[in-house]
A and B are shown apart, each in its own frame.
Chain A
Amino acid sequence: MILQVSGVSKRFGGLQALSDVSFNLEEGRIMGLIGPNGAGKTTLFNCINGVYKPEEGRVVFRGQDITGSKTYHVAKMGLARTHQIVRPLNDLTIRENVIVGACFGRENHSLGGAEKIAEEVLEFVRLHERANQLAGSLNVGQKKRLEMARALAARPYLLLLDEVLAGLNASEITQMIGIVRDIRERGTTIIMIEHVMQAVMNVSDDILVLDFGKQIAFGTPEQVANDPKVIEAYLGDPTLAAELSGKKSSA
């Protein structure tokens, strides 16, 4: 078991952002994290990687309790993430951005070693031709791939992807999904927050559904798509409900 989340709750003032979220994630799987806007998906990521300290509950990563640990400690233990709103280090080159990931991540490389990893990872996300450009000069799709490259350069055991498909065009989505699959092939476990429903249902082994901070379903894509509570949660959003049921019929 690579990640065990048990009974995690997080409040912001009067708002209960997460209440009693629990799941176990096995190594080598892709877990999709879905739910309407404001369901607490990104908050859950922040509680897992130490940006927030949950009021209740525990997060155990590879057998170690990391509840409330500093983000950089969690990062060094092999947990990497991308951000929903990309955060490139604008005034550094693309290569330098990725080197930061490799240098300070799990394997703690020297600059020389990190440079090799950067070349490899940049080629993997198809940014190698732009390696010497400043990160600030990229477009959104490229910045998302850069985020991904930085996270991968850390050689994480677990990768948290926050809406890597949002804002991408159809061909970019296909390309990105290919990348996600390849990452899993290499043995990295993935949790991905996603709104592009068809993509996430296709690529995930498990799905966790959050609604108003509560966990309303956890299971295989088929189980989740057939879950009445999930369908109800998405009824407010007819297109998503349609997408869910579309998946159901094709499954």
Chain B
Amino acid sequence: MSLKNLKNPGLWLTLVVVFILGVIPIINNKASAREETLTVLLSVILVSSLNILLGYTGYISFGHIVFYGMGGYVGLFLISVYGWSLWTAMVAGGLASGLLAFLLGSAILRLRGSYFALATIGINEAMRAFISNFEPFGGPTGISLNFQVYNQYGGAAQALWTIYYVVLALALGNILLSYVVKTSKFGLGLQAIREDEEAAEVMGVVTPSSKTWAYVLSAILPGMVGVLFFFKNGNIEPGPAFRLHLSIELLVMVMLGGYGTIAGPVLGAFGYQRLRGLLLTSDLFKNIQLTVAGVLLLVIILFIPSGAVGWIRHRFPVTRRYLP
């Protein structure tokens, strides 16, 4: 709300925890730990940006990953064809995703409930199929970067570290952003839409523009980190860039942590990625990793549908003030 709300202990606790976890690989100077944490931080960014649309506004998107892929494509295109620097390309990727969200949102956000969810699946698939045919973006083979491109960032090894710092900063920034949005007047309007869209309109919430801006806000950061991730990868292809499965994993992470909260998505991203890592490295579960994750998801949906943080908030109402 006002600045006094920035004193919320739950927000700072979340930021401090993410910061400490993010700094550990830097202190230890270990590349393997860095890669692990990077995956988690990317998830944190994707999940808490999705939360703006899903958790605050109540619109279920199965196509959040579109913005990640779109940003990645625009960024790599600008870097490889026009020789842009990574940082300007990153901003351009974010803006491109924001613009895409604006155009899509103006059209599809008037669909409600399952219809919106289905439209986002359609868009995800249409986008992947379209990019596979779009020659400037390399069609089915995508875009690959020349290895020398890393030289201007101090070589590949150094570039990976630099990208890591930026991702950490963006993750912290995104947590702050989602908190500011939630506690703003704009965010209150979004939550009113989530609870009852018609009642919100009757109270004067201008729903079409509110929803569209929520969509745009949720798209920009995924676009930016899409550029960073695929730059780090050195190439981008339609399949990995628009993987429907990843969008759904993001939904799982939101549910796991508790949707509509600040700490929930962060917890969900950490929890899910950690669990996935454990299952993938365990001999016993390696093969049925997906099944175990599915059972876990089902148990959460059936028995603690508001997620970990939501559950705590419900069980102990006192904590509502401290767990934004």
Contact = CB atoms under 8 A, between A and B. Distances in A.
B2 A100 contact: no
B192 interface: yes
B204 A105 contact: yes
Given A72-B207, A92-B195, A111-B1, A103 B188 contact: yes
Interface string A69-90: 0111001100011010001111
A100 B199 CA distance: 10
Contact of B204 (A76, A89, A92, A111): A76
A112 to B, nearest CB: 6
A91 interface: yes
Given A91-B195, A100-B188, A71 B202 contact: yes
B198 interface: yes
Contacts of A83: 199, 202
A195 to B, nearest CB: 22
Nearest to B1: A111
A110 B184 CA distance: 9
A90 B200 CA distance: 12
21 contacts: A51-B198, A51-B202, A71-B201, A72-B204, A72-B205, A75-B203, A80-B202, A83-B202, A87-B199, A89-B192, A89-B195, A90-B195, A92-B195, A100-B192, A103-B185, A110-B185, A111-B185, A111-B188, A115-B1, A154-B203, A154-B204
A169 B184 CA distance: 38
B191 interface: yes
A105 B185 contact: no
B184 A100 contact: no
A111 B2 contact: yes
Contacts of B196: 87-89
B314 to A, nearest CB: 9
B264 interface: no
A166 to B, nearest CB: 18
Contacts of B200: 89, 100, 104
A211 interface: no
B204 A112 contact: no
A150 interface: yes
A229 B78 CA distance: 77
B95 to A, nearest CB: 28
Contacts of A89: 191-192, 195-196, 199-200
A114 B172 CA distance: 30
A101 interface: yes
A103 B183 CA distance: 13
A96 interface: yes
Give the residue among B184, B185, B188, B202 with the most A Cβ atoms within 10 A: B202
Contacts of A105: 203-204
A95 to B, nearest CB: 11
Contacts of A49: 202
B22 interface: no
- Counting from the closest, the 9 A-B pairs by CB-CB distance are A75-B204, A104-B204, A89-B195, A87-B199, A71-B201, A111-B1, A100-B192, A104-B205, A72-B206
Contact of B198 (A87, A91, A103, A115): A87
Contacts of A111: 1-2, 184-185, 188
